[in-house]
Structure 1
């Protein structure tokens, strides 16, 4: 019962509104397909890199394309990391802005849980990594590698194990990933920028400003926007800041609120609808193909890799760090706000989601390359640590979440029941759960 008569109980993992749940469902379906493609690309890369034709895989990734005069004679692997992932970060930026302007994160009470969980899920893995690498044999440059959650990979795991998470848990997972992406963007921009070149950075503001002006005027013409976006990306790349940050900056200029005249979505939603399939279906899987192809028998063998504090810090950070950080932060929010878990959920569900958040891949591999340099021994060890940590987190999450799957199915049946056939489930026609 509520301790305040006349006021609804405050709850963590509240169900939310039907439009928000439906939007989240559409996003997660796209990301799940992308996650399956990502898994397939990673498996193909691993198989090829460890086959008798492994040299051909490495030669393919090292093939250079682009105009040298513009300092864009990059390898295919670099084009995947710097170019294609800019699309991924553009979509992440659109989702970030939408959440802060019109989504759950605009309400401090609803934002408290995913923000705290994301911060906890970043801090504890980083501390674990530092603990493993504080000695003379370690390397602290990779402290941020185990801090990232790969939502596509995590959803692919859910798809494979065929679990039926309730709407509140799915919404929390996506919002956690959105905040996680924001932290990753800040980390890349602040801690993994090389020698900063101020002139290209200042020049990048010109096409960025023009892009922002056009989208504010609701211009959608690709032949105007795409060259400006490419020029912004090229100048940010030349400035020394990682080029994917350009994708976020471009996304932040796009208006979220629906246009005043006539029906239809806002421009941010329109762009997200267009670019999310490209990001999930092409950009991220191609990056995974070039980034995940580590030779397991190389760099001194698997035994040597597993004794490297870098690989150990990454793997343990992803598994134990994420589980402790996310579930611990959730407990602290519950403790200090006196909120309760929503009806039908238990702390086992929180632990399951926290373990699932330990599935890190895309951004973890990217930060590993930025920290140690692509193709170096420590980068190879990082990749193995990310793969092993993500696999262990996925398996542990599978055990916890599958054990609760029958309960989840019953909750989902209640959530999807629509007795009056009006297109809105009955549960969302009632007063939505409050969440602090």
Structure 2
């Protein structure tokens, strides 16, 4: 009987692949890949027409209404993998984590509402009597970019900060998609949306019975995605719904990881190494149009309204809503978070790309001057928000690092580092 070659099937190949997968599961690595892909996209988009031609290349079967551009496949298709993992993580927090307490879960939900209302009000105030149709552009937080920035700059920040941002961003996206459906979608088809409930229900039934067979689950997940996409609703919603369907807790007497943990372990490297970086490459390529285009955009009230909305509106809206909820309701802020941490998180929520770019195209028409100026505003507002949040949260990261170091040295727990005791 022939034996397998050790070079092809020996022990060295699988551990190496497993090691690479473990590296890709680290959020810092995924964040670096995402930001790097975004920088490459910005350079490519302003260096010539090749980037736009690649992004606008149409692939897929026309008969199934899936003849989409590569950019749409990345934003609607690949990003659904990321939203599936986000749904898994958020459900775990609601079922077994910090958000299982309704009073604590209410805070980021209220913050998301405030973080959408304030930017819209500022945009309308700046564009009063002008192009008000773009009022929703600065209301959206890009969950993938925001979490990537947080992953790169934080190593010692409280875990509650990430949970807060994740919950806020997902609620923000769901509200933004609702806004698109109500105000910017002319061809919403509820029949396809109702049809999506059939494969989603079958998927839910199987995972609740702890079925792991990929040949059953993946076709149902793909069909759910396709039907949601056909309905006119942003298809990443399908990823969130599929993630929510997966059980988090293990059955009594079950050994090994639960189903949610199993799926997260399998799909995290795919999301970090492929889905999110490719999405970033195709969505972050904003053509500024040279110096003349840049200066022209800066004088447009559309651009100014978006920059102010993302940078100031998000910060003010999220912080004020969080403070009011904690002060005047029974909702509780995470005990590990300080108010300065909330300010940094609110700034970070001003990073808006995917949904903001989508709303800009729907509001002003793809390729129009207003659309191009809106994209410049999204780029500048997101960059300003990310930089300001990075400065503040890096300072907070050093603060928490010092606290951890003092606690590590204080082995007897009396509050005084052992090195200073006599």
Q: TM-score, normalised by structure 2?
A: 0.81
Structure 2 residue aligned with 1:143, among 135, 139, 142?
135
Partner of 2:195: helix, strand, or coil?
Answer: helix
Please point out which of 214, 218, 225 is paired with 1:222: 214
Structure 2 counterparts to residues 122-201 of structure 1, below 5 A: 122-136=116-130, 138-140=131-133, 142-158=134-150, 164-201=156-193
Give the deviation of 1:178 after TM superposition: 4.1
- For each residue in 1:92-122, what CA deviation from the matched residue of structure 2 results, as whole angstroms up to 9, or x when unmatched? 3323333333333331221232222222212
Distance 1:38 1:266 in 2: 29
Number of the residue aligned with 2:75: 81
Are 1:65 and 2:59 matched, yes or no?
yes
The offset of 1:352, in angstroms, is 2.4
Classify 1:418/1:215 alpha carbon distance in 2 versus 1 (closer, same or farther; 3 Å).
farther
User: Hey, what's the Cα distance between the residues in 2 that align with 1:309 and 1:397?
Assistant: 25
Please report how far the alpha carbon of residue 192 of structure 1 lies from its aligned counterpart in structure 2 after TM superposition.
4.4
- Report the alpha carbon displacement of residue 389 of structure 1 after superposing the two structures with TM: 0.8
Could you say which residue in structure 2 is the equivalent of 1:41?
37
**C-alpha contact (below 8 Å) 2:147/2:166 kept by paired residues:** no
1:198-244: CA deviation from partner (whole Å, max 9, x where unpaired) = 44333323222222221122111111111112122222222222322
Q: Distance in 2 between matches of 1:36 and 1:316?
A: 27
Q: Would you say 1:270 and 2:266 are equivalent positions?
A: no
Kept in 1: contact 2:155–2:397 (CA 8 A):
yes
Q: 1:166 to 1:100 in 2, by over 3 A?
A: closer
Match of 1:105 among 99, 108, 111: 99
1:319 Cα deviation after fit: 0.7
8 Å CA contact 1:152, 1:280 repeated in 2: no
1:380-426 CA-to-partner distances (Å, cap 9, x unmatched) read 33322122111111222234334445432222335667959xxxx99
- Partners of 1:34 and 1:272 lie apart in 2 by 14
Report if aligned partners of 1:122, 1:147 keep a CA contact under 8 Å in 2. Answer: yes
CA distance in structure 1 between the aligned counterparts of 2:72 and 2:291, rounded to whole angstroms? 22
Question: SS at 2:196's partner residue?
Answer: helix
1:257 aligns with 2:249: yes
Deviation (angstroms), 1:167: 4.0
- The worse-fitting range, judged by mean Cα deviation, of 39-48 and 77-86 is 77-86
8 Å CA contact 2:31, 2:151 repeated in 1? no
Report if aligned partners of 1:359, 1:390 keep a CA contact under 8 Å in 2. yes
Q: 1:177 to 1:197 in 2, by over 3 A?
A: closer
Indicate whether 1:280 and 2:272 are aligned: yes
Match 1:365 to one of 350, 357, 369 = 357
SS in 2 for 1:296: coil
> CA separation of 1:334/1:191 partners in 2, compared to 1, >3 Å: closer, same or farther?
same
Q: 1:267 to 1:338 in 2, by over 3 A?
A: closer
Gaps spanning 5+ residues in structure 2: where?
Answer: 1-21, 416-422
- Given that residues 158 and 337 in structure 2 are in contact (C-alpha distance below 8 angstroms), is that contact kept between their aligned partners in structure 1? no
Distance 1:40 1:310 in 2: 28
User: Do the aligned partners of 1:34 and 1:152 also contact (CA within 8 Å) in 2?
Assistant: no
Change (3 A) 1:209 1:102: same
Cα offset, 1:292, TM superposition: 1.7
2:111 is matched with: 117
Which ranges of structure 1 fall in alignment gaps of 5 or more residues? 1-25, 428-436
Matches of 1:417 and 1:224, distance apart in 2: 52
Mapped to 2, the partners of 1:407 and 1:339 lie a distance apart of: 27
Q: Say if 1:190 and 1:302 are closer, same or farther in 2 by CA, change over 3 A.
A: same
Distance change >3 Å, CA 271–CA 370, structure 1 → 2: farther
Question: What displacement does 1:338 show?
Answer: 9.0
Root-mean-square deviation (Å): 3.4
Q: Which moved more, 1:358-367 or 1:339-348?
A: 339-348
